[in-house]
Structure 1
Amino acid sequence: MRKRALSLALIPLLLFYAIPVGAAEKEQRTWKDEIVYSLLVDRFFDGDTQNNGDANVNDPSTFNGGDFEGVTKKLNYLKDMGYTAIILSPIFANDANGYHGDWVADFYKTDKHYGTMEEFKKLVNEAHKRDMKVIIDFQANNVGPDSAWLNDPKKQDWFHEEKKISKDGSQTDLETGWVDGLPDLNQDNEETREYLLDAAKWWITETDIDGYRINKVQYVAKDFWKEFVDAVKSEKSNFYTIGDVQGDAELISSYKETGIDAFMAYRQNAELREAFAAPDKELKPVFDAFAKSEDELGGNAHQGLFMDTQGMPRFTKDAADHNENPGSRWRMALSYLYTMPGVPIVFYGSEIALNGDIAPDNHKLMNFKTEQELVEYITKLSDLRDMYPALVKGDMELLYEEGGASVFKRVYGDETIVVAMNNTTETQTINLADKELESNKELRGMLNGDLVRSKDNSYSIVIDRETTEVYTLSPKSIINIPYLLVIGLVLLIFGIFIALVIKRSKRNQPK
């Protein structure tokens, strides 16, 4: 009898679900749709202590134990936050203490501290099962300081002559000098060139990775990168290449001709770090940097938006230097990364506001047992990007910018998303006219639940200090009183009926 009562109770719920709900069909996924988590393999998670060897967690200048198995075990952690792709620091075999991956010893082997080739293939396979892409850093500029190649008579022509790069050096000096004192590879040498190109293709066919982040792009000639991009895409047509060019928008745009798909947005990064390190800083330089980057790059050259990388101090340190709460600063910064045009790239530990100065201080071990507030916020932002194509593919228009407050909209087809950011220490009221947003509609807040209705052909947005709200521009909601009365009456009748059934069943039970 109790089961019968439960079945009857489900009927009103089925009536609710019978009401048709419109849903936009998901478009085919492109690289613009990705949300990327970048990590230093050695510092992320130690999943297999058997491969630690000489690793020492108390020495930040050497290997600390992170490995492929550790990344594999944390894929669900990353997937739950909404990340759809991961970038791994260089995984090739390195010289002693080359935990960062920059001191390559062999381009065809994994570093023994990270695990075997089979364990790396398992990582890629498990990521693909979760519909996540795997990108690895590719270092084509140099090898490690103790490379065996330096003492190989057959490879003397594989290197440029040892020399430092002056601060005002020419492009030729940049491409032939020894960066950070590391042996500089001569890509004009046919054997060197073929070795690097063959290695790049081999990793794709051998492991089915999805992309390369190409390091030190401006230190290698453009003709090599053109051939490099053609080579990797010949193995996998949708293979992704992200160029790490450290310079202004004009310099970065000059490498667009190489065919590299996207670039790390360094010019925007400088302004982002300055603006979001503390409240009450103007956002105009941020949007000016975005506009200049868009103007210089244009076309299909996507940009990777980021706050920090393994080569710079942590953004958390910027906030701490201003005596600010890193959590609130990160929420503002992440809101920008996830809602502006570009692919958000988040460095490991940002979700726990990991601190650190220059390397190796910025390469601390990841801690998975800390405050989850930022993790939850990142998850919300990821859900919004997944739910609303306008946040990924939409055109961007700045509607308001004054001091530390701004409002911009992203428009894609019939969908309009409005983002209001208050990077100040006081509540802000921002009025938008109907020429900026269609009148007689409402703004529905998706982060904080705010609701702003059009009144007198304008919208008055009130936003708390150090807060971001993401709105959908929607038709005004109308309370359907007759419909609610009918549903309420149905629920009441079923409630009475169920009560009577239960009462009768109790009466019929033997005493």
Structure 2
Amino acid sequence: MKKRVWTLIFIPFLLFYALPTGAAEKEDRKWQDETMYDVMVDRFNNGDNKNDYEVNVQDPKAFHGGDFLGIINKLDYIKDMGFTAIRLNSIFDNEENGYHGKWIQDFYKTEEHYGTMDEFKKLVKEAHKREMKVVLNFELNQVGPNHPWQTEADKKDWFREQKEDGLLSLNQDNQEVKNYLIDAAKWWIKESNIDGYYLERADLASERFMKEFVKEIKGAKDHFYLLGEVKSDDPATIANFQEMGIDGLIDYPLSENIRPIFDEVDNSLSELITNKEKLMAVYPDPYLMGSVMDTDDMIRFTHNTVTKNQHPGPRWKLALTYLYTTPGIPIVYYGSEIALEGGEGEANHRQMDFRTDKELIDYITKLGELREKYPSLTRGSLELLAEENELSVYKRTYEGETTVIAINNSSSSQDITIPSELLEDNKELRGLLSDDQVKSSEKGYTLFLDREEAEVYILAEKSGLNIPYVIATVVVYGAFLTFIILAWRRSKKKRAKQD
């Protein structure tokens, strides 16, 4: 009888938690839901001293000791910041001082300074264990300046005219070169189970080669992601490569728009969303584009802010808020979370420092949590709601969920009112980065933001008791408590008769 009573007691709890909560079911992850951390292997973390030969941390052009084991040791660090994918520079065997991975000697071997093939496979496996994807830079266009192919008589037609940088430019229109690159790319997918390729300077390859490469590689593994780089400020030129089948490309026009806005306070945000909307209209799939502030061949954003006598922390917070809450896949270059400084060339590739202030890391972590929790931030439409001076407010909407983002890029506190007709009336906006709460009024929703502050809101029912939910809960508990009491009395009478 005791077991039966306890079972009955637990039934209301089961029914209570079975009641609908209004939350949408978690959909399958898509690439547009990812948030990517961009790692330069050699400059990130040294996990194995045994491969530290010809290492000189004082020489910006030499190897510094970062390796696969170093990344494995920091996967939880990356994961805890909310990143769901990592992008690595080319890891293939390189010539002397090819710490950046661009001077390839052998497409079928790992760079020995980074570690062994088994260690790379372990890195991919450990990332997958944490539900993180791995994207690898695959060089399509060049090999190192001293590659042995140039001395082989049967490979004279493998190269185009030599480039000014000394690297050997591959002739992908040569059928043997084409086959070699495609076979090598498919081999790495099969051997290591990576999830995507980053195709640097896809615009240097012929269109015919790119279409064939994309077709072959996309067929090698389901949901394999191809992220391309096209050095152009023309959105239509970039869009052409997405039409070829490359899933997404680095959105350089976006970066050129937002860097000058956020590297200094009191810059107008008037073109912030309108430019984004224009870009979205051009790209075949804007949600798969790569949104960046920094890459390995830019002057770091931190350097721009410091040059203008700005504190980089607030500048990064506002820029990342925009990056994380507009359509596209945020790609954050290693060190951005500590506002790492860096100029051109090797000055951009500074050593990562894990002993630093956590304020910006915590902010990035929170933004990552919001992207993970609210699908409107990764899949939703984009609409500008209001704009005054250096304060902009826009919304993302997806399947009944609405998030509202406000960014104040000014040096003074401001308020702004969103008219009721632009948002559902008689609701409230709940701050997700802070505890701000804004209820609707006759005028609409009036938001107040301090200087250099951003907020992400969720549009929700007004706070207070959910009366129908409370009544339903009381009825369920009442009915089962009555049943339990009656069952207990019946059992008591039965025992009395038996006595």
Mark yes or no: TM-score above 0.5: yes
Q: Does 1:226 align with 2:249?
A: no
User: 1:198 and 1:63 mapped to 2: Cα distance?
Assistant: 29
Q: Does 1:191 align with 2:176?
A: yes
Cα distance change, pair 134–358 in 1 and its aligned pair in 2 (3 A): same
Aligned to 1:55: 55
CA apart distance, 1:284: 2.5
Q: Does 1:380 align with 2:375?
A: no
User: 1:308 and 1:354 mapped to 2: Cα distance?
Assistant: 11
Aligned to 1:497: none
- 2:23 maps to a residue whose letter is A
User: 1:472 and 1:260 mapped to 2: Cα distance?
Assistant: 33
Q: Does 1:200 align with 2:185?
A: yes
Q: Does 1:420 align with 2:385?
A: no
Alpha-carbon RMSD across the aligned residues, in angstroms, is: 2.2
Aligned to 1:43: 43
Aligned to 1:149: 149
CA apart distance, 1:356: 0.6
CA apart distance, 1:477: 1.1
2:231 to 218, 240, 246: 246
- 1:423 maps to a residue whose letter is N
Does the 8 Å CA contact 2:414/2:449 hold for their aligned counterparts? yes
Q: Does 1:466 align with 2:452?
A: yes
Aligned with 2:289: secondary structure? strand
- Aligned ranges for residues 399-414 of structure 1 at < 5 Å? 399-414=385-400
User: 1:182 and 1:454 mapped to 2: Cα distance?
Assistant: 61
- 1:390 maps to a residue whose letter is S
Q: Does 1:209 align with 2:194?
A: yes
User: 2:456 and 2:378 mapped to 1: Cα distance?
Assistant: 14
CA apart distance, 1:18: 6.4
Cα distance change, pair 206–242 in 1 and its aligned pair in 2 (3 A): same
CA apart distance, 1:184: 0.7
User: 1:208 and 1:480 mapped to 2: Cα distance?
Assistant: 48
- Aligned ranges for residues 254-333 of structure 1 at < 5 Å? 254-299=240-285, 302-333=288-319
CA apart distance, 1:296: 1.4
Aligned to 2:131: 131
Q: Deviations over 1:242-283 (max 9, x none)?
A: 011121212201212320000111001011110000111012
Does the 8 Å CA contact 1:444/1:452 hold for their aligned counterparts? yes
Q: Deviations over 1:181-240 (max 9, x none)?
A: 311100111111111110010000011000001001111111111111111112102110
Does the 8 Å CA contact 2:287/2:329 hold for their aligned counterparts? no
User: 1:364 and 1:230 mapped to 2: Cα distance?
Assistant: 37
Aligned length: 459
Aligned to 2:116: 116
Q: Does 1:436 align with 2:428?
A: no
User: 1:479 and 1:25 mapped to 2: Cα distance?
Assistant: 24
Runs of 4+, deviation exceeding 6 Å: none
Aligned to 1:495: none
1:370 to 349, 356, 361: 356
1:181 to 148, 162, 166: 166
- 2:299 maps to a residue whose letter is P
Does the 8 Å CA contact 2:261/2:269 hold for their aligned counterparts? yes
Unaligned runs of 5+ in 2: 1-9, 475-499
Q: Deviations over 1:146-187 (max 9, x none)?
A: 11111111211100123xxxxxxxxxxxxxxx2633111001
Q: Deviations over 1:68-98 (max 9, x none)?
A: 0101111011111111000001101111111
- 2:311 maps to a residue whose letter is N
User: 1:263 and 1:161 mapped to 2: Cα distance?
Assistant: 27
Aligned to 1:476: 462
Q: Does 1:28 align with 2:28?
A: yes
Q: Does 1:395 align with 2:370?
A: no
Bigger drift between 288-297 and 210-219 goes to 288-297
- 1:284 maps to a residue whose letter is S
User: 1:432 and 1:315 mapped to 2: Cα distance?
Assistant: 32
- Aligned ranges for residues 37-116 of structure 1 at < 5 Å? 37-116=37-116
Aligned to 1:169: none
Q: Deviations over 1:365-422 (max 9, x none)?
A: 1011101111110111011111111001000101112332100000001111000110
Does the 8 Å CA contact 1:32/1:393 hold for their aligned counterparts? yes
Aligned with 1:411: secondary structure? strand
User: 2:165 and 2:327 mapped to 1: Cα distance?
Assistant: 34
User: 2:300 and 2:219 mapped to 1: Cα distance?
Assistant: 37
User: 1:300 and 1:276 mapped to 2: Cα distance?
Assistant: 22
- 1:68 maps to a residue whose letter is F
